[in-house]
Chain A
Amino acid sequence: MNFEQLFLTVLTYGCLFSVMTVCLNLQYARGGMINFGTVAYFAAGAYAYAIFTQEPPKGLDQYLFGFDAPWWIGFIAAGVASLLFAIITGWPTLRLRGEYLALTTFAFAEVLHSFLLNERRIGNGSVGLSNVDRPDFSAIGLSENYGFMLSAVLLLILTSLLCRRILASPYGRAVDAVRDDEVAAEAVGKDVHRLRFEIFVISAVPIGFAGALYAMITTLVSPDLFTAEVTFFVWIALVLGGEHTIKGVILGTLALVTFEEVVRSLHFETVRAAEIAASVEYMMTGLIFVMILRWQPFTRFAKKGATP
């Protein structure tokens, strides 16, 4: 992989996953809600995009729905699907706190994964939906790689601006207050359930858009791509970046994606060397993780900018 390709991949996936960490930051670091089912909202977005843009079923296709809609309708559908899934999952669960909420959201994500795997009429089951439609960037003179990279950057910028706007307002102040002390917040008339629910639902929308973009880039959606590993990856990135600041969590995510992509881009002469390298990668990941948590470089850097 040459440097340009590496740069594009890191930036595209880095921004894509940063959208999720920024939203998770809103839910967890500010809203105090532990969502261990992040991947489900990502998957909801990706599948909605694929279903809306694919052709109606024919021949051996097992899926029932295909609307052959243009990419932008699919993109909007992705945000709506994620929003609806957040409403369905958030409504009954947000009275739960801490690890109870974590377990419930995790279970919801597993249920969705299992559903997509076994209900073939939605997305062909384990085979998934391939040849997902993607927008044509040549009309604006961009290659596909650059087009998707810029789309991911743009989505991240818009998501960050949205989060910043929310957090820097009295609304964000109330959200912080609810996280710090619900009883005291209720004593001054704050509707704790409404605030938690709204934050949960709003932050799911950009994750759905990220899912749509992911489907465009990979041109494939299948249950294998949306496992709990994605959730844990985003959580690790959030912890690395240090909670609370938008800049910090973006830096944490970019660092994690860069590390993974650099290791992946290395060439090995023998299988044995590749195996050793894979082991070393795990060791290095652990070591870097400990070092970052000890010195918190991204948190410090982000706090200098004092972005909320």
Chain B
Amino acid sequence: MSSDLLVVENLRKQFGGLKAVGGDDGLSFSVKEGSFVGLIGPNGAGKSTTFNLISGVLEPTAGRVVLAGTDLANVRSSDIASLGLGRTFQTPRAFMSLSVLDNVLVGAKSSGENLRSVLLGGWRSSEPALIEKAKAALTRVGLEDRVTETVSNLSGGELRMLEVARQLIRDPKILLLDEPTAGVDPSLQGKLSKILTDLHKEGRTLIVVEHNLHFLFSIADQIIVLQQGELLSSGTPQEIKTDPKVVAAYLGDEHAA
């Protein structure tokens, strides 16, 4: 039996007294190593806020997050990323002054980010291998023809794929993807589905926030449903599909029976 890689315990976040995540007891769930979790819920359910709390972009009001046995309280988001957590954002984020290739290379851990190595020039020998790795990541997400372009030429969907490539080169233990199919055209969606399935097969843990339930239910093995910041339901895609509480949350009470 695989162990819990991520444990979220009694997590609560309030913005100016308004509850964003967690009810009285807070939000609690755990994610087993190697599992593929879908995080769903209506708009405003707190999905992206939960991602921001796990990745350290936001500090929780109460509760804690434990990643691979490490309590993430007071750990900076860059250090959380270094612990093996990768994430993408609801609105794709890119480094606009850099080329597509450099955007991916930023994700790599290079010895050339150490000042001593920069001044002595020792980083140069490892750079070609990183460039090849970045190109492979770009090929994997279907951006192999855009390597030298500036990021401003990319569409919204391509920017999402670029974010995925930037995470792929880092080889994260756990990957949090926030609405990866939003704005991505159907041909790339197929590619994305394959990438996620492959990553899952490779043993990586994935948590995906998604509104495209058809897409998610076909590839996830566990679904967590949030509503107004609280855990509404959790189970396999089949269980969630038939859960009256979930149906009511999405379609209204009259459909629940």
A contact set with B: CB distance below 8 Å:
165-166, 169-171, 173-174, 176-177, 179-181, 183-192, 198, 202
6 chain-A/chain-B pairs, Cβ below 8 angstroms: A166-B115, A169-B112, A171-B112, A180-B97, A187-B81, A189-B78
B108 nearest in chain A by CB position: A170
Q: Looking at the complex, which one of B55, B76, B113 makes contact with A170 (CB distance below 8 Å)?
A: B113
A194 nearest in chain B by CB position: B78
Contact B102–A181 (Cβ < 8 Å): no
Which chain A residues lie closer than 8 Å to B170 at the CB level?
A: 188-189
Which chain A residues lie closer than 8 Å to B114 at the CB level?
A: 171
Contact A171–B76 (Cβ < 8 Å): no
Given known pairs A187-B55, A187-B77, the reply for A173 and B102 (CB within 8 Å) is yes
Q: Looking at the complex, which one of A170, A176, A185 makes contact with B127 (CB distance below 8 Å)?
A: A170
B55 nearest in chain A by CB position: A187
- A169 CA to B114 CA, complexed, in Å: 10
Contact A187–B115 (Cβ < 8 Å): no
B106 nearest in chain A by CB position: A177
Contact B98–A180 (Cβ < 8 Å): yes
B119 within 8 A of A: yes
A167 nearest in chain B by CB position: B118
Given known pairs A169-B112, A170-B105, A192-B78, the reply for A181 and B127 (CB within 8 Å) is no
Which chain A residues lie closer than 8 Å to B94 at the CB level?
A: 180-181, 184
B70 within 8 A of A: no
Q: Looking at the complex, which one of B82, B93, B113, B118 makes contact with A165 (CB distance below 8 Å)?
A: B118
Which chain B residues lie closer than 8 Å to A170 at the CB level?
A: 105, 108, 110-113, 118, 123, 127
Q: Is the interface of A mostly helix, strand, loop or mixed?
A: helix
Given known pairs A186-B77, A186-B78, A188-B106, the reply for A171 and B95 (CB within 8 Å) is no
Q: Looking at the complex, which one of A185, A192, A198 makes contact with B106 (CB distance below 8 Å)?
A: A185
Encoded as 1 (CB less than 8 Å from any A CB) or 0, chain B from 87 to 121 comes to: 10100011111100010011111111111001101
Q: How far is the CB of A235 from chain B (nearest CB, A)?
A: 21
B86 within 8 A of A: yes
B57 within 8 A of A: yes
Q: How far is the CB of A95 from chain B (nearest CB, A)?
A: 12
- A115 CA to B224 CA, complexed, in Å: 61
* 4 tightest Cβ-Cβ pairs between the two chains A and B: A170-B112, A184-B93, A170-B110, A189-B81
Given known pairs A169-B118, A170-B123, the reply for A181 and B113 (CB within 8 Å) is no
Which chain A residues lie closer than 8 Å to B110 at the CB level?
A: 170
Contact A180–B118 (Cβ < 8 Å): no
Which chain A residues lie closer than 8 Å to B107 at the CB level?
A: 188
Given known pairs A188-B81, A188-B166, A189-B78, the reply for A183 and B93 (CB within 8 Å) is yes
Contact A190–B78 (Cβ < 8 Å): yes
Q: Looking at the complex, which one of B89, B102, B105, B112 makes contact with A184 (CB distance below 8 Å)?
A: B89
Which chain B residues lie closer than 8 Å to A186 at the CB level?
A: 56-57, 76-78, 81
Encoded as 1 (CB less than 8 Å from any A CB) or 0, chain B from 143 to 186 comes to: 00000000000000000000000110010000000000000000
Which chain B residues lie closer than 8 Å to A174 at the CB level?
A: 106, 113
Q: How far is the CB of A183 from chain B (nearest CB, A)?
A: 6
Interface-centre pick from A181, A187, A198 (highest chain B CB count, 10 A): A187
Q: How far is the CB of B108 from chain A (nearest CB, A)?
A: 8
Contact A165–B119 (Cβ < 8 Å): yes
Contact A198–B119 (Cβ < 8 Å): no
Q: How far is the CB of B49 from chain A (nearest CB, A)?
A: 14
Which chain A residues lie closer than 8 Å to B78 at the CB level?
A: 185-186, 189-192
Given known pairs A165-B119, A186-B78, the reply for A176 and B98 (CB within 8 Å) is yes
Which chain A residues lie closer than 8 Å to B79 at the CB level?
A: 189, 191
Given known pairs A180-B96, A184-B94, A190-B78, the reply for A171 and B115 (CB within 8 Å) is yes
Identify 14 new A-B residue pairs, CB closer than 8 A, beyond the known A171-B112, A183-B93, A184-B95.
A169-B118, A170-B108, A170-B111, A170-B118, A171-B115, A173-B106, A180-B96, A184-B94, A185-B95, A186-B56, A186-B78, A188-B81, A189-B81, A189-B109
Q: 8 Å CB contacts to A: which residues of B5-57?
A: 55-57
Q: How far is the CB of A90 from chain B (nearest CB, A)?
A: 15
Given known pairs A177-B95, A183-B57, the reply for A190 and B106 (CB within 8 Å) is yes
- A176 CA to B151 CA, complexed, in Å: 14
Q: How far is the CB of B123 from chain A (nearest CB, A)?
A: 6
